[in-house]
Structure 1
Amino acid sequence: MDPVEYASKQKKLVRRIDLRLMPCLILMIVMNYLDRNALANARIQGLDVDLGLKGNQFNTAISVLFAGYIALQIPSNAFITRTRPSIYLPTCMIIWGVVSTSTAAVQNFTGLVLVRFFLGFVEAPYFPGALFLLSSWYTREELALRTSILYAGSLLSGGFGGLIGAGVESGLDGSMGLESWRWLFIIEGSITIFIAFCAIFVIPDFPHTTAWLSPQERALATKRLQDRSGSHDTERGSIFSGVKMAVLDYKVWMLALIIVAKTSAGAVTSFIPTLVKTFGYSKVQTLLLVAPPYVFATLVALAVSYSSDKRGERCFHIVVPMVFGMSGFIIAAATEVLAARYVALFLMLAGVYGSYNVALAWISSTLPRPVEKRAAAIALVNVVGNFAQIYSPYLYPKSDGPRYLTAMCCNGKPTFLSDSPPSSLYLASPIPSRLIT
């Protein structure tokens, strides 16, 4: 096959993969984050009052989800290399949809904590699994933009969550004797279950096993990945050896430091509705005001990732947005002026999450093969990163409002510290590979 014909067929194949894989994964991640973060909007609708939460109990309910979340990530991503993602990921989604819906039935703090822990446990497989699946279909040059588009779904969920919450609050509060926050969990959980059943028939497995490609297309899908990495996903090792290689690779830990810094700063997302509530608006207005900062962050994330792919560069596309994130935390800590604090939310979210997707793509492109190592590395980085989400909620006690000075300082510092690991990893990379690192 001559190079022109090969390039044409590859372009057509990538377009088919995009249309089949990306829309479904985006819908799934929207629901993953919508269900996870529904508690933040439910608080505005009165959940903490109705359940009689006191002191740091709401913060504990936020935190405990991540205890369950980090417990299953590495085993799950090791397991996904031996199973069918088209069955495994939607099945996990059905279960988390049921668990999320059951939040509507809780009556006290104990019930809320139990539901939140199990929600984190069953949500854990999706995100690292989706990243692994993307890295199984796309080359390192294609990953940043696709990872960004995927992660844009998680950012949009923040906006959708506010809009859905506002609609539920204004239209369903008290309907059939249920508070609006209970309806919120019922509606969002039901949508999750419906999308999960549809996903079973849409999500592909791996390039060499999927049924919706012709034999020629499967061969091309496998070959183009092998050409970029020197091996392909049909080459198998043991799960244990993959985990061991990931743990012993210094690049995995450098990438983990980048992610933990970003998740430490990004812990503010669980309290965006709480911060907006301090502006003094009604419940519906508060929930509506939550949406714009997330939409802005989504646009910034897509622009940064497009630029990263276009220029074949990762390091500076991670470092520069974090400077803007740091400025957002500084503004929020320094003033109580409403307009300035609202602008600070735009800078925080865009700065922290504008380059988060580039960092995620860097994991897969830096550690392409073997498949078991890549899967373990993705999960390990996410596990280490999400440890920050366990302690960060306790930085937001009610007594610290409206400025939440301690939280702004503690969440803001990692935006400064996160600039060092990507720079070090960049300098440690071989010079020829820096074009894509």
Structure 2
Amino acid sequence: MATEKDERMSTEKIDVAIDTSETVSPSAIQARFETLRDLDDEQMAALNKRLLRRIDWRLMPTITIMFLMNYLDRINVSNARLAGLQEDLNMSDTVWSAGISTFYVGYLIGQLPGNLWLAKVRPSLLLPGMMIGWSICTICMPAATSGVGFCLVRFVTGLCEAPFFPGITLMTSSWYTKAENPMRMAVWHAGNTISNIISGFLAAGILHHMGGIAGLYSWQWFFIIEGAASILVGIVAFFLLPDWPENTRWLTQEEREIAQYRVLLSNGGKEEQVGGTWDGLKEAVKDPFTWMFCGMHFSLINAQSFKDFFPSIIKTFGFSELNTYLVQAPPYAIAYACACALAWSSGKFRESCYHIVVPIVISAAGTAIMISTPNIGARYFGAVLLVSGTYNGLNLQLSWETTLVPAPRSKKAALIAIANCVSQCSHWFSPYFFPTAHEPFYRLGGGLILFGCLCTVLLCFGVKWWAKRLNKKLDAAEGYSEHSGVERGWRFAY
């Protein structure tokens, strides 16, 4: 058991926030690493600071920009639709929705095997390779001449993108501690919100001005330029991304060991690398947390079902084509600021449930405003509330699930992939909730969003209840009570 001295030493030695007692003492964990055994508190603090700075400056900017391009690739068809993609390929609303859904069929197929594979190989090779693959598909989109071609390209694009999102979630949780994780996930999750901002400006610049150049439609230029930029980012990422804490080549042995020490301490002494691929999958399937987070992620994606149609929704506000592209940016900029603030608060106070529930309730209020009033100012304000709450919720849910199931890495990889797989099933049906016949209020889609918000709230309280129940069992097993004098070991955070 950790002593009071060990706990105090852990928070002073390095800025690694852990629950106020871990089952393995910091000194015992430090003794496992050859290069760390003889370091004093000051040396450990300096080494930790140097390691964290190196990882922050290489991992965070790289995966943020990669995720930006990834999400931009996912939503580019929404703005291309406004520029005539659907009409130029002679697609009905049904065929268009089928194309949106087909992307997620490929995405679903590649999720679980991709993330299980990633847990065993070098992320610095697999993730950039996948990025170049989906970028090539994006460049091929201008060659589509029918709805069938559109659906086919979107399917292969989804297949290539599948391992990326769960992959960077797994990487972040494998490098950062419980207190650092929410804020770091908010940082790279900025790629999500920033891509929506950039998409509007790109659409204003490319879709509004480049039609007819070299005999191409403006939406064709949109895909070509974006795909080429993504390939360039993928090539650079080969040289910048780390692998895992134990095998990143551009770290010294001492830095690799402090990286493992930090996360091991945060995990309560649980080894990340223990467990085979199929063992991890079986453990994840048997864990109730897996299915609770599957439901929560699924509900949050339902609550975000508006994102593929956000430009079309904004168009109903009566703005000009150029202004429709531009006014999409402020809601996402506000959403990012809120996400960072709430992620910081969640990490500081080690609380996840209410940090998700409160913003989701606000999103539900925003949705109710959007579907109930014709007032443009009120509807735009509702859009700001909707975007801010749902994007914050998804960011913190990812951090929460990797905190509650910190190790082994194969189990965590399986949990992330399974939850993401289940959540993406929403995209098979959600596009059909936003037909153009339901303009301007899209009340059917609004109902789906509200349903997602409600289920998210219920599942948050369900996860919290289950975590508290498990903690009570651990208390009983250790003989811990407020007056027992027994030190409390590692516990599930909620």
TM-score (norm 2): 0.86
Offset, 1:8: 3.2
Q: Is the 8 A contact 1:262 1:356 kept in 2?
A: yes
Any conservation in 2 of the 1:135–1:143 contact (CA below 8 Å)?
A: yes
> For 1:358, which of 386, 396, 403 is the aligned residue?
396
- Residue 336 of structure 2 is matched in structure 1 by 298
SS in 1 for 2:304: helix
Q: Does 1:402 align with 2:440?
A: yes
Answer yes or no: is 1:44 the counterpart of 2:85: no
Q: Does structure 2 conserve the Cα–Cα contact (< 8 Å) formed by 1:222 and 1:232?
A: no
Superimposed CA distance per residue, residues 256-283 of structure 1 (whole angstroms, 9 cap, x where no aligned partner): 1111111001010000000011122222
Alpha-carbon distance in 1 for matches of 2:182, 2:433? 32
Q: Counterpart in 1 of 2:483?
A: none
Query: Structure 1 residue 142 and structure 2 residue 162: aligned?
Result: no
* Structure 1 Cα separation of the partners of residues 404 and 369 of structure 2: 35
Contact 2:300 2:393 in 1 (8 A): no
Q: Distance in 1 between matches of 2:273 and 2:116?
A: 15
- Residue 288 in 1 paired to residue 326 in 2? yes
Q: Is the 8 A contact 2:290 2:415 kept in 1?
A: yes
| AA aligned opposite 1:255 | F
State which drifts further: 2-11 or 62-71. Answer: 2-11
Question: Mean alpha-carbon deviation: is it higher for 120-129 or for 58-67?
Answer: 58-67
Please name the residue that 2:73 is paired with. 35
Question: Which deviates the most, 168-177 or 74-83?
Answer: 168-177
1:88 paired with 2:133, answer no
1:124 counterpart = 2:154:
no
- Matched residue, 2:385: 347
Q: Note closer, same or farther for the CA distance 1:371–1:435 as it changes in structure 2 (3 Å cut).
A: closer
Unaligned runs of at least 5 residues, structure 1: none
Residues 234/414 of structure 1: CA separation in 2 closer, same or farther (3 Å cut): closer
Q: Does 1:213 align with 2:251?
A: yes
Match of 2:461 among 398, 405, 423: 423
How far did 1:434 drift? 7.0
The CA distance in 2 between the partners of 1:354 and 1:125, in whole Å, is: 22
How many residue pairs match? The answer is: 436
d(CA) in 2 for partners of 1:344, 1:105: 38
Counterpart CA distance in 1 for 2:375 and 2:95 is 29
Is the alpha carbon distance of 1:390 and 1:124 closer, same or farther for their aligned partners in structure 2, counting shifts above 3 Å?
Answer: same
Instruction: Give 1:258's match in structure 2, choosing from 285, 296, 302.
Output: 296
Q: How far does residue 171 in structure 1 lie from its aligned partner after superposition?
A: 2.5
CA distance in 2 between partners of 1:333 and 1:170 (Å): 29
In the alignment, is the contact (CA less than 8 A) between 2:112 and 2:417 conserved in 1? Answer: yes
Deviation at residue 252 of structure 1 after TM alignment: 1.0
Provide Cα deviations, 1:381-424, integer angstroms capped at 9, x if missing partner: 11111111211000011111111111111212221221111112
Tell me, yes or no, if structure 1 residue 267 matches structure 2 residue 302: no
- Partners of 1:403 and 1:225 lie apart in 2 by 47
Shift of 1:348: 0.6
CA distance in 1, matches of 2:292, 2:434: 28
In structure 2, stretches of 5+ residues that fail to align are: 1-38, 473-487
Kept after mapping to 2: 8 A contact 1:51/1:107 = yes
Distance 1:56 1:285 in 2: 27
> In the alignment, which residue of structure 2 is the partner of 1:165?
203
Residues 194-234 of structure 1, C-alpha deviation per residue, up to 9 Å, x if partnerless?
Answer: 10001001101111111111111111111222222213334
In the aligned structure 1, how far is the partner of 2:491 from the partner of 2:305?
Answer: 31
In 2, are the aligned partners of 1:426 and 1:434 still within 8 Å (CA)? no
Q: Which amino acid aligns with 2:237?
A: A
1:64 touches 1:117 (CA, 8 Å); kept in 2?
Answer: yes
Contact 1:141–1:436 (CA<8 Å) still a contact in 2?
A: no
Deviation at 1:303, TM superposition (A): 1.0
Q: Give the conservation status (yes or no) of the 8 Å contact 1:94–1:193.
A: yes
Task: Tell me which moved more, 65-74 or 420-429.
Answer: 420-429
Structure 1 position 232 matched with structure 2 position 271: yes
Percent identity reads: 36
What do residues 268-326 of structure 1 show as CA deviations (whole Å, max 9, x unaligned)?
00000000111222222111111111111111111110111111111110111001100
Question: Which of residues 309, 331, 352 is equivalent to 2:347?
Answer: 309
The equivalent of 1:66 in structure 2 is 104
What does residue 277 of structure 1 align with?
315
Return the offset for 1:435: 8.1
TM-score, normalized by length of structure 1? Answer: 0.97
Write the letter of the residue equivalent to 2:410.
Answer: E
Tell me the CA shift for residue 169 of structure 1: 2.2
Q: Conserved in 2, the CA contact under 8 Å of 1:134 and 1:143? A: yes
Runs of 4+ in 1 over 3 A off after TM superposition: 431-436
In the aligned structure 1, how far is the partner of 2:209 from the partner of 2:191? 26
More helix by share: 1
Q: Is the counterpart of residue 338 in structure 1 residue 376 in structure 2?
A: yes
SS in 2 for 1:419: helix
Measured in 1, the distance between the counterparts of 2:125 and 2:492 equals 37
SS in 2 for 1:201: helix
- Decide whether aligned partners of structure 1 residues 234 and 246 sit closer, same or farther in structure 2, where only a CA change above 3 A counts: closer
For the pair shown, the structure with the greater C-alpha radius of gyration is 2
Give the aligned partner of residue 242 of structure 1: 280
Root-mean-square deviation (CA, aligned residues, Å) is 1.4
Structure 1 match to 2:357: 319
